[in-house]
Structure 1
Amino acid sequence: MLDPLQLLSAYCEGAFPMGHEDGSLSWFRPPHRGILPVQEFHVPRRFAQYLRQHPFEVRWNTAFGDVMRGCADREDTWINDSILDSYQALHEIGFAHSAEVWRAGKLVGGVYGVAIGGAFFGESMFSRETQASKVALASLQERLKQRGFILHDTQWTTPHLAMFGGHEIPCRDYLDLLDRAIRLPAIFDEERPPEAQLMFR
């Protein structure tokens, strides 16, 4: 398990960990970084219509560990026990968050990540029903926009993210944006403890 302060400090320097099957961790800082624009978030027209009448309920931070385990429930995963324990600890002190998609009382999709200032570091998402992860992502983006975030780091860009405007920028540009973002007074969750809000100002 990583020390929470070590993990947060690494994010502020542009690095993030990924786990291996043997329980070990590796650190990454790619030369190009995937981001999802917050203010210019693109929602395809057909999906925008679906969002207005989707059958799901979106909740926040009510099943963080279950969202992580949902993301890890695949044949190849970098979310090992060390990652699970480390991010659960971050969640307990108010830095890691989950957007959850529920239907008929069952968790059917979600996304989780870490918030520092006006930066959100998206880690992973999962879906057990069609469109559930897209609803989680779109709901997350709307919350980030409303609360003054300027950076949504996705690490890399996938076709799934590209359809919403996700793209990659050089690490140098990413670090400049990161430095501005973590200094902002944005708050993801109203219940976040005051000491967590001020730690990186």
Structure 2
Amino acid sequence: MTKAILWDLDGVLVDTAPFHFQAWRKLFRSVGKGFADADFRRTFGLRNDAILRDILGELTPAEVERLAQRKEELYRDKIEGRVTAIPGAVDLLRRLQQRGRRIAIVSSAPGENVRLVLRSLGLEGVFEVVVAEEDAPKGKPDPQGFLLAAEKLGVTAGECVVIEDAPGGVEAAKRAGMRCIGVTTSRPREALAGADLVVDSLEEGAVYSFLGI
């Protein structure tokens, strides 16, 4: 039986991709580097340190920390009061609560970003557990974040279903021994082929059937 649903944030609960792209582009422009749509699509969902090194090459830990902090400041400035939930996400959350399912967020984003998004959506306190970048430093596709969320919820991996929109997240879920729903909000279906169920929207009946709600 499914006891817990572990949600990714960006691309599953909210569509923040345009704001991330604008923040990254402004940051890289400030250091004389371009950042095209193709660069963003290729790196979206990775941790900040991985994206920075992908675009800029070798960096010291201090440089990574400084640039990552600046990027997140730019991002938070852009999303303040502008985020909306992905269609079907809030209704699904409410149904899960009504049916007594446990729910958590597992995101590669810094905790401050996650809290800002949840406040903006009026969803503070809805998620029992929040696992953010600083809680699971290995990042997806490593399963560390999902396993930590399951541990905090007091459930087994086999009792969890992950909702993801990125191949790295799907891989992390499967490596954790969890079932996974892939949502095509940011990637084509073929990129999410490793998921147990792939849907175009969280409003689809197949999602509710898969979760047993």
**TM-score, with structure 2 as normaliser:** 0.31
Larger proportion of helix:
2
Larger proportion of strand:
1
**TM-score, with structure 1 as normaliser:** 0.32
